[in-house]
Structures are given as structure tokens and as C-alpha cells.
């Protein structure tokens, strides 16, 4: 899932790496070596991306694949960037930048540039930047092409080297930020090209980054990026704010070399193996394993939707039609350690929320769910897919704010779904009816807590096929004010999927967000 990196020859010449003389190399006091100074601006980057897209895509050079393929997980872990060489370690910006080395899983070079006064200089790779024994296989790599693969944005302060980074860019166009609970989890991407479209997915790369120093009192870092792949090229600007979590203002212009059957704007990628909803017997000792447990959508019309995630037996693509969505995200709602029992702290994983800027028009939030039998695989993708078909020569502009937090940045006042549970529709002492599944969907929130005594919310149900029975609500037992359970049975024939919809109301008042679910009978 890792794409290509830099256009050979063309990029080297335009970005300033070809024919570099020793006299042209400047050296930072901390030891970083730089290439010659060249003008840089966002307008220049967008024009460069447009010119790049007008030419046939060329596969970029890589550091010697025979050597890089031997930098396995253990060998890569020994390649730690020396903090004395960090960009901005001299205090010219409050957020030092450190770099990551190529390896077996990140084999492609990425160029890095430092920007100051409208000028940019390439940061030239040197093996001395990394902890590297004389017998380490990476010692055999030549200086060109660069062996940088990605970067970290570090915390401010004198003790920054002892703290984890708060933003990481590594591999294809993947990046992620730390959430407000101090943990990383799911990832974002610059773009998704033909995800789940019945043809091999394309993974464009961020091939170069430009770093702008931040003022001493700033809470933000500005980074520019060049994206390139067989179908498109693009220019990106990231303004990343270190708040209680991380908030990124992202804008981009994409230039298409060819039509794209399915393009994913603001894609998010996560992992969902199992939860309280469904789990094979004895598949794992833990009650739940997931980085995200649902897709949340705030539609253009104002409806709040919650779609619990599935681990299907085959690839499933769901589309939620909308016009000018207000936001969507892959969320981790379950924050109770007892529901995970794992020291990797799934209960602290961030939620990621996409907040569009401007008019995104008609399209759909699409959710792709892939089968997995292990927590090491990202099997969930969510993104915005514009309704307008694309064609070669198109220029697409989009901007959005990406929040890495514990919850939605603009929470709904409605009660929210907090659990979806499935079981057989059996009554103790009686035979289970065939083709019937029981659902128990739990909601919690102030509108339910505020209900008068002896007043129960009404479940409003819909399904694409099948028949409901035994539908009712009841308070969740225990000391749980404002927590109610909607219970119902669904009888359905065959194995075709069933789309379902549920919300709670009292009279004309809507009390909860809308629960959507795709049920695959007895899967």
C-alpha cells in the first residue's frame, strides 16, 4: 500500500538535486547539509504540480532495492535519527523536525526542503544523521537518491527529544496525528485513488516536503507537500495546530492525468477487528479490538448518523448520499478500558473528524470495509466521493479541517449510539426460530435522561427487507441515567445484506441520532 516517490530526472532538475557541487552545499551549525537556495512559494508548487501532471508519469528512482529490502523491522528500528541534527534544533522554530530512514516497508525516497525568506534548500541525506553501526546494511547505500522516507514533528520545549512526536508523515501519502488522550491510532491520506473499484488501488506518494519555521509563540507548523502518482499530481498545504490534540487545516489542488473511476477526498484509514457487536467464539481473549468503532456523519441537511463498523467476510462498499456535508469521521467512542483489557490502550485511540471548507457539492461519504483476521491490518476506509465524474486535465480544489480528538469537535445535542449487540432471537426454554436475529442498540444522552418518569422513547425502525417484531425500549439496568436500549427482532430470508435504520423519538421530538447498520444474515 505504499506508492511511488519522486519523478526521476525532471524532479531532480526542477527541485534542485542535479549537478550539485560541493561549493553549493551549505551546512547548518547543528550539522545538517543543504543544497543550493531556490525560490519557493505555494503558487510555484501548484504550477509545478500542474506542469508535472501534463507529462507522462515516470516511476521515481529508489535507493538500492537490494539493500533496502534487507532493512527489515529490526534493522529499521536501529536507525534512529540523532536529535542534534533535527531541523530547527537551533531554536529557530519551536517545533523541531526529525526524519525517518527508508526500509523494507518504506522503500522510496522523499525529498525534504527547509524554507526561509521565500527560498528553499534541500536537506541532503547523510548516513551520519542516524545511529548506524559500521556493519549496518544501510551503510552501503549511496548518498543519492536520498534515503529519507518520512518525518516527525516534535513537541516544543527543551525536553522535546524525550517526548513522542505529535505528527507523522510516512509511506505513500499517509499521515497521522496524536489525539487529545495522548495516543495515535488511525491514519489519514492525501488522496484515495480507485479504492474498492474492482481494479488495483493506486497509492500516490508525497514525494517532497517543504518546512516553514514557526514564530516562537506559535502553536502551528506549516508544511507544503508535492503529491504524484500515475493518475494525478497535486500541491498541498498543511497548517497543523498543536491543541489539546491536533487540528490540521489542509488545502490542495489536484491535476488529473487521466479519469479516475472513484476518487476519495480526505480519506481516513483505520482498523476494526471485532467489538461487542459480533465476535467469533474464542478468536481472541480480549473483548474488543479496534482503532475505530463507527463512522459518524453530519449531513448537509443536519441529520446526525452513526454507522457501526463491520468486519465482513468479503469487501463491502457503502455510500451515504449527501449535498455539502458538514462533517464525517471514523470515531472511537468506547473509552472503557474494561472493554479492551489490553495494554496497547485502544481506549485512548483518537477519533478523526473531517470538516469541509466551502462547498463540496453533491456526492457521498463512502465506507469500505475489508475482512481481517488480525489487528495489524487496516481494513476500514472512509472518504468523500464527489458525484461529478472526473476526466483527464481536470483541476480539483478542496479544503478541510481535520481534527484528531477524542470526540467530534461539534457534538450533537441528541442522544448517541454507544453499543450495538446481536444475538439469536431465542426465548429461554424455547427453540430458536430460524432466520431471526435479535438486535439490542443502546443510546445515551441528555434527551433520554430528561424524559419524564414512566415515559419510554419510541423506536422508529426501517429495513430494506424483512419484518420486525418484538420492538420496544427499556432503560439499561444499573445506575445508568439517560441510557436506554432499543430491542427488536428481524426475520429475513436468504443471505443478501439488509440495510437498517433506527432512531428514538418521543411524540414529535427526535431524541437520538440515526443508527444505520448493514446486516448480513447470519454472517
Per-residue pLDDT at 245: 96
20-30 pLDDT per residue, tens: 333 344 454 45
pLDDT band at 466 (very low <50, low <70, confident <90, very high): very high
The average pLDDT across 402-407 equals: 98
- Please state the rounded mean pLDDT for residues 462-480: 94
Q: State the Cα–Cα distance between residues 406 and 409, nearest whole angstrom.
A: 9
Q: What is the four-CA torsion angle of 342, 347, 350, 355, rounded to 10 degrees?
A: 140
pLDDT value of position 143: 83
Residue, of 444 and 142, whose pLDDT is higher: 444
Q: Residue written as cell 551503510? A: 139
Residue among 412, 407, 410 at smallest CA distance from 356: 410
Average pLDDT of the residues in 181-198: 94
- Average pLDDT on 267-284 reads 93
What's the CA gap between 434 and 425, in Å, rounded? 9
pLDDT band at 523 (very low <50, low <70, confident <90, very high): low
Residue 3 has pLDDT above 90, yes or no: no
What mean pLDDT comes out for the span 16-44?
A: 68
Q: Does the structure show a pLDDT above 70 at 304?
A: yes
Confidence of residue 522 (pLDDT cuts 50, 70, 90): low
Q: Is the pLDDT of residue 463 over 90?
A: yes
Beta bridge partners of 236: 225, 252
pLDDT at 84 exceeding the cut of 90: yes
User: Residue 31: pLDDT band by 50, 70, 90 thresholds?
Assistant: confident
Helix (H) or strand (E) holding 201: none
Taking the C-alpha atoms of residue 222 and residue 205, their distance in angstroms, rounded to an integer, is 19
- More confident of the two residues 428 and 216: 216
Contact 173, 233 (CB under 8 A): no
pLDDT band at 12 (very low <50, low <70, confident <90, very high): very low
pLDDT of 125 = 94
Judge residue 158's burial from the number of C-beta atoms within 10 Å of its C-beta, 0-12 exposed, 13-18 middle, 19 or more buried.
exposed
- Kindly state the percentage of the chain with pLDDT values over 90: 85
Residue 361 has pLDDT above 80, yes or no: yes
The secondary structure of the chain in percent helix, strand, coil, rounded to multiples of 5, reads 10, 40, 50
Mean pLDDT for 302-327 is 96
- Band (pLDDT 50/70/90 cuts) for residue 13 is very low
Mean pLDDT of the 335-339 span: 97
442, 420, 436: which is closest to 489 by C-alpha? 436
Whether residue 203 is preceded by a cis peptide bond, meaning omega within 30 degrees of 0, is no
pLDDT for residue 280: 84
Please check the confidence at residue 504 and state whether its pLDDT lies above 70. Answer: yes
| Tens digits of residue pLDDT in 98-152 | 999 999 999 999 999 999 999 999 999 999 999 998 899 999 998 889 999 999 9
**How much is the pLDDT for 345?**
97
State the average pLDDT over residues 383-410: 97
C-alpha cell at 485: 436500549
Question: What element of type H or E holds 219?
Answer: none
Q: Is a pLDDT exceeding 70 seen at residue 10? A: no
| Mean pLDDT value across the chain | 92
Give the model's pLDDT for residue 298: 98
pLDDT at 217 over 50: yes
Please answer whether residues 217 and 156 qualify as being in contact, where contact means their C-beta atoms are separated by less than 8 angstroms: no
DSSP letters for 382-447: EEEEESSPP-TT-EEEEEEEEEEESS-SS--SSBEEEEEEEEE---TTSPPPTTEEEEEEEEESHH
Amino acid at each position: 500500500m505504499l506508492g511511488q516517490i519522486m519523478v526521476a530526472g525532471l524532479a531532480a532538475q526542477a527541485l534542485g538535486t542535479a549537478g550539485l557541487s560541493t561549493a553549493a552545499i551549505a551546512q547548518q551549525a547543528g550539522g545538517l547539509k543543504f543544497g543550493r537556495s531556490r525560490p519557493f512559494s505555494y503558487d510555484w508548487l501548484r504550477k509545478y504540480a500542474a506542469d508535472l501532471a501534463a507529462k507522462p508519469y515516470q516511476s521515481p528512482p529508489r535507493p538500492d532495492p537490494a539493500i533496502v529490502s534487507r532493512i527489515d523491522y529490526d534493522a529499521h528500528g536501529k536507525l534512529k535519527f540523532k536529535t542534534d541534527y533535527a531541523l530547527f534544533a537551533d531554536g529557530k522554530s519551536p517545533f523541531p523536525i526529525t526524519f525517518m530512514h527508508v526500509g523494507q516497508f518504506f522503500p522510496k525516497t522523499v525529498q525534504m526542503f527547509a524554507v526561509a525568506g521565500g527560498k528553499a534548500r534541500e536537506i541532503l541525506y547523510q548516513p551520519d544523521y542516524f545511529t548506524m553501526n559500521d556493519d549496518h546494511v544501510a551503510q552501503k547505500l549511496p548518498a543519492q537518491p536520498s534515503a529519507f522516507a518520512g518525518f516527525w514533528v516534535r513537541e516544543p520545549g527543551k525536553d522535546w527529544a524525550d517526548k513522542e512526536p505529535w505528527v507523522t508523515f510516512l509511506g505513500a501519502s499517509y499521515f497521522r496525528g496524536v489525539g487529545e488522550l495522548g495516543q495515535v491510532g488511525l491514519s489519514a491520506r492525501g488522496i484515495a485513488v480507485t479504492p474498492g473499484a474492482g481494479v488495483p488501488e493506486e497509492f500516490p506518494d508525497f514525494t517532497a516536503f517543504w518546512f516553514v519555521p514557526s514564530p516562537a509563540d506559535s502553536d502551528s507548523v506549516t508544511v507544503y507537500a508535492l503529491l504524484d502518482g500515475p493518475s494525478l499530481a497535486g500541491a498541498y498545504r498543511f497548517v497543523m495546530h498543536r491543541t489539546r490534540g491536533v487540528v490540521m487545516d489542509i488545502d490542495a489542488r489536484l491535476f488529473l492525468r487521466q479519469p479516475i473511476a472513484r476518487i476519495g477526498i480526505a480519506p481516513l484509514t483505520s482498523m476494526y477487528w471485532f467489538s461487542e457487536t459480533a465476535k467469533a467464539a474464542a478468536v481472541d481473549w480480549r473483548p474488543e479490538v479496534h482503532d475505530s468503532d463507527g463512522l459518524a456523519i453530519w449531513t448537509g441537511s443536519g441529520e446526525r448518523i452513526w454507522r457501526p463498523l463491520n468486519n465482513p467476510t468479503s469487501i463491502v462498499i457503502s455510500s451515504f448520499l449527501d449535498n455539502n456535508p458538514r462533517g464525517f469521521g471514523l470515531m472511537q467512542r468506547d473509552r472503557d478500558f474494561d472493554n479492551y483489557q489490553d495494554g496497547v490502550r485502544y481506549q485512548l485511540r483518537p477519533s478523526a473528524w473531517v470538516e469541509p471548507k466551502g462547498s463540496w457539492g453533491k456526492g457521498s461519504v463512502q465506507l469500505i470495509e475489508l475482512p481481517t483476521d488480525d489487528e495489524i491490518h487496516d481494513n476500514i476506509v472512509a472518504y468523500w466521493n464527489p458525484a461529478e465524474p472526473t476526466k483527464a486535465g481536470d483541476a480539483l480544489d478542496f479544503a478541510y479541517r481535520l481534527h484528531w480528538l477524542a470526540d467530534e469537535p461539534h457534538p450533537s445535542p441528541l442522544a448517541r449510539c454507544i453499543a450495538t449487540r446481536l444475538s439469536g432471537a431465542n426465548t429461554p426454554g424455547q427453540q430458536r426460530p430460524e432466520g431471526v436475529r435479535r438486535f439490542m442498540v443502546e443510546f445515551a444522552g441528555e434527551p433520554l435522561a430528561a424524559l419524564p418518569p414512566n415515559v419510554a422513547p419510541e423506536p422508529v425502525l426501517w429495513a430494506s427487507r424483512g419484518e420486525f417484531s418484538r420492538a420496544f425500549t427499556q432503560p439499561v439496568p444499573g445506575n445508568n441515567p439517560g441510557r436506554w436500549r432499543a430491542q427488536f427482532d428481524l426475520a429475513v430470508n436468504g443471505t443478501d445484506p439488509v440495510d437498517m435504520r433506527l432512531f428514538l423519538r418521543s411524540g414529535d421530538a427526535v431524541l437520538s441520532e440515526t443508527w444505520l447498520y448493514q446486516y448480513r444474515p447470519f454472517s
